[in-house]
Structure 1
Amino acid sequence: MNSKYQDFVPLKAIPFVEFLINEHNFTLKIVHQRETKHGDFRSLPNGKFQITVNNNLNKHQFLLTLIHEIAHHVTHQKFGKAKPHGKEWKTVFQHLMLPFLNPEMYPMEILPYLANYLKNPKASTDSDVKLSLALKGNIAAAGKNFIFAIPQGSLFIFKDIIYQRGAKRRTRYECLNLANKKAYLFHQNVEVASYQREYS
């Protein structure tokens, strides 16, 4: 199957994705990586609608992000001013994701975590540590490490700031910002750069 989406979503998902794009009448823009989000939905001044998704996501991350944003669009169309990630959005998102919950689109290494996440989906998949790691194949980006893999007490860089990794507090790691001496909590699946390697 030749499709402009074949490099971005699993092959078997393409017909469903093309149907949703045509059915819900929005423009999809694939954009460069943004640090703060994987995708977004917006209503444009001209009355049209646009969804953007980052181009650095793997096919399984891209598909989930796209359906997440389509759910915002459908929720907006059906309910008007509903809460961004409220019960209306959750219901729409769950419904839209149903056709994709099969091993032809998501491998068995991901499916159980995805199904569990969809019971009560959150604003960001990154807040679900197990799903986030499964979507990444438990492999951090080149030149980075997951924060849980860094020894306690060692230094790392996150968004150009040097931190010292502290102890785990329930589900997050308490880390010291060396610039302002304040402590911050990091999700277990955050990817950080080694201070020694980057600044030797």
Structure 2
Amino acid sequence: MSLEYQKHIPLKAIPFVQFLIDEHSFDLFIVNQRATKHGDFRKLPSGRFQITVNNNLNKYQFLLTLVHEIAHHVTHQKFGRVQPHGQEWKTVFQHLMLPFIHPEIYPKEILPYLANYLKNPKASTDADVNLSLALKGFSADTGKDFIFAITFGTLFEFKNAIYKRGNKRRTRYECLNMHTKKVYLFNQNVEVKIYNS
């Protein structure tokens, strides 16, 4: 197994991650960014297990995503076919994350949000706005803004299309696609680029 992952996670996390890799047999690949997911776990036709994690994540996001995917693997080994993010996975994920909930691994700016998220982890860390923002605070400046931070009526670019920010509905924003005139719902912590015509 390549040790390339070590440069993607906090230094103090390496022994714990290496233990998980040694304990549970799988191939780990670090891949180019995918728009719809940070990582994934799958059983290959050969019977081997594979975990992939996006290479654009900062080390705190990368570590959380990696342990999230290892939890899928361990859940599969222990319980067979169950709900992907059901109670079995939640319990395994919480257990596997315990050694990492430490100020030597996660900064104190992230720890309270991470601890709160782990009380009832969701399928995606992006579903937890506070944790998502705390994690992204340690990324390089991308020149983008969060949907919730731009004003009503502002034009922005997202995936090569121009949208206009509309009203908020509970946790998401209505945004009008300026080309198709269709309204789409955007998560409040999606990162977009302000449109300058």
Q: TM-score range by the shorter chain?
A: over 0.9
Equivalent-residue separation in structure 1 for 2:8 and 2:18 (angstroms) = 12
Equivalent-residue separation in structure 2 for 1:21 and 1:126 (angstroms) = 25
Equivalent-residue separation in structure 1 for 2:138 and 2:20 (angstroms) = 30
Counting aligned pairs with the same residue, the percent is 75
Q: Give the ranges of 4+ consecutive aligned residues of structure 1 lying more than 4 Å apart after TM superposition.
A: 138-141
Equivalent-residue separation in structure 1 for 2:189 and 2:104 (angstroms) = 26
Equivalent-residue separation in structure 1 for 2:154 and 2:177 (angstroms) = 12
Equivalent pairs counted in the alignment come to 195
Equivalent-residue separation in structure 1 for 2:46 and 2:59 (angstroms) = 31
Equivalent-residue separation in structure 1 for 2:11 and 2:139 (angstroms) = 22
Conservation of the 8 A alpha-carbon contact between 2:58 and 2:138:
no
Equivalent-residue separation in structure 1 for 2:143 and 2:135 (angstroms) = 18
1:160 equivalent in alignment to 2:160? yes
Query: What is the one-letter code of the residue matched to 2:143?
Result: G
1:106 corresponds in structure 2 to 106
How much does 1:173 deviate? 1.4
Q: Which moved more, 1:133-142 or 1:36-45?
A: 133-142
SS in 2 for 1:50: strand
Query: What is the one-letter code of the residue matched to 1:166?
Result: G
Equivalent-residue separation in structure 2 for 1:8 and 1:127 (angstroms) = 23
CA-to-aligned-CA distance 1:65-124 (integer Å, 9 cap, x gap): 000000000011111110100111001000000110111111110011001111110000
2:71 corresponds in structure 1 to 71
2:19 corresponds in structure 1 to 19
SS in 2 for 1:105: coil
Query: What is the one-letter code of the residue matched to 1:91?
Result: T
Conservation of the 8 A alpha-carbon contact between 1:140 and 1:146:
no
5+ residue gaps, structure 1: none
Equivalent-residue separation in structure 1 for 2:140 and 2:164 (angstroms) = 19
Q: Which moved more, 1:102-111 or 1:132-141?
A: 132-141
2:62 corresponds in structure 1 to 62
| Structure-1-length-normalised TM-score | 0.93
SS in 1 for 2:163: strand
Conservation of the 8 A alpha-carbon contact between 1:109 and 1:134:
yes
1:81 corresponds in structure 2 to 81
Equivalent-residue separation in structure 2 for 1:60 and 1:116 (angstroms) = 16
Query: What is the one-letter code of the residue matched to 2:83?
Result: K
1:52 corresponds in structure 2 to 52
